[in-house]
């Protein structure tokens, strides 16, 4: 896994027969995914349903883009592990909805890559290199790239000093964001200083809110608790096999392994 042997994943990108009259859309979720949870996957299902019912877009592909090791956030497993877990999770969701892919480009960067640059990378690969998509009338159309995020991430955009103003204008002005409600975030506050881009921000309430977070999963593992049904089953097994997120003495992993059926 390195930039030299990197290839942009497009196997699940719908490049032909896109419904004429619709705007083709690719959703990109950036984050740590340490580990990926079912809520990360649910973000895509929520967005897909919302887009279909409420907009003139049509989803032609979706990507998980795990952040690189240079992000150095507490609890960040190595990008090799996070990419593999994301792949396993994507395989699971694709049993029911066939559009999710994992892009390694951000994760393999030697330096931290701001989200604006990550979205530019998708724009380049999909619209410049692949050349957009073809609709049912045989016409070529550019794809709209958009950020998919939980409302907590959008709230950080209103917090001073976290994002550069130029990057915010670029992300929300050029690309836009689909924002999934997240328990504990006041959406009015989160969108407070982002008013000028409100036409490009789509807020998606959740009928069933759920507070699963990667932090809580890591905590549960440290407390020797079972994490079944909170992360995909294949990812649970991967975490056990590789002893991820364990205490220094390894006891949490030993217990998880002991619980394995």
Closest approach, Cβ 57 to ligand NCN, in A, equals 22
39 binds ligand NCN (CB under 6 A): no
The dihedral region occupied by 13, where left means phi > 0, alpha psi between -120 and 50, and beta the remainder, is: beta
DSSP character string of 148-187: EEEHHHHHHHHSTTTS-HHHHIIIIIII-EEEE--TT--H
Among 78, 104, 72, 76, CA closest to 90: 104
Residues in Cβ contact with 173 at an 8 Å cutoff, skipping those fewer than 6 apart: 197, 200
Among 124, 203, 201, CA closest to 169: 201
> Which partner in ligand ATP, ligand NCN, none is near 227 (CB below 5 to 8 A by kind)?
none
**Chain residues that interact with ligand ATP, rule: CB under 6 A:** 29, 31-34, 39-40, 43, 75, 149-150, 152-153, 180, 182, 210-215
- Using DSSP, state whether 203 is helix, strand or coil: strand
| Interface stretch with ligand NCN, choices 11-19, 91-99, 113-121, 246-254 (CB under 6 A) | 113-121
> Which partner in ligand ATP, ligand NCN, none is near 163 (CB below 5 to 8 A by kind)?
ligand NCN
> Which partner in ligand NCN, ligand ATP, none is near 156 (CB below 5 to 8 A by kind)?
ligand NCN
The token pair that represents 245 in the structure block: 């997120």
> Which partner in ligand NCN, ligand ATP, none is near 29 (CB below 5 to 8 A by kind)?
ligand ATP
77 binds ligand NCN (CB under 6 A): no
Name which of 18 and 204 has its Cβ closer to ligand ATP: 204
Among 80, 2, 97, 100, CA closest to 35: 80
> Which partner in ligand ATP, ligand NCN, none is near 162 (CB below 5 to 8 A by kind)?
ligand NCN
Whole-angstrom distance, CA of residue 188 vs CA of residue 179: 12
Residue 31's H or E segment, with its range, is strand 23-31
Name which of 201 and 256 has its Cβ closer to ligand NCN: 201
- Among 67, 102, 201, 252, interactor with ligand NCN by CB under 6 A: 67
73 binds ligand NCN (CB under 6 A): yes
Q: Closest-CB residue for ligand ATP?
A: 150
Closest approach, Cβ 173 to ligand ATP, in A, equals 19
Among 187, 191, 239, CA closest to 209: 187
Name the site residues for ligand NCN (rule: CB under 6 A). Answer: 30-32, 67, 73, 114-116, 153, 156, 162-163, 167
């Amino acid at each position: 896994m390195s930039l030299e042997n990197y290839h942009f994943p497009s196997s699940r990108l719908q490049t032909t027969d896109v419904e004429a009259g619709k705007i083709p859309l690719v959703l990109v979720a950036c984050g740590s995914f340490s580990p990926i949870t079912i809520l990360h996957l649910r973000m895509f299902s929520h967005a897909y349903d919302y887009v279909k019912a409420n907009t003139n877009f049509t989803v032609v592909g979706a990507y998980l883009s795990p952040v690189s090791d240079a992000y150095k956030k507490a609890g960040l497993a190595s990008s090799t592990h996070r990419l593999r877990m994301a792949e396993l999770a994507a395989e699971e969701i694709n049993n029911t909805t066939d559009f999710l892919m994992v892009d390694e480009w951000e994760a393999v960067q030697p330096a931290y890559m701001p989200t604006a640059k990550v979205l530019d990378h998708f724009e380049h690969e999909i619209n410049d290199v692949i050349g957009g998509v073809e609709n049912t009338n045989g016409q070529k159309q550019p794809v709209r790239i958009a950020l998919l995020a939980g409302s907590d991430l959008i709230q950080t955009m209103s917090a001073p000093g976290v994002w550069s103003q130029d990057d915010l204008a670029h992300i929300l002005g050029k690309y836009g964001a689909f924002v999934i409600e997240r328990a504990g975030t006041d959406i009015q506050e989160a969108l407070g200083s982002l008013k000028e881009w409100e036409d490009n921000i789509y807020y998606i309430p959740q009928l069933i809110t759920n507070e699963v977070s990667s932090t809580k999963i890591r905590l549960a593992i440290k407390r020797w608790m079972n994490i079944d049904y909170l992360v995909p089953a294949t990812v649970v097994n991967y975490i056990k096999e590789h002893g991820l997120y364990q205490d220094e003495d390894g006891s949490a992993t030993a217990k998880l392994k002991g619980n394995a059926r």
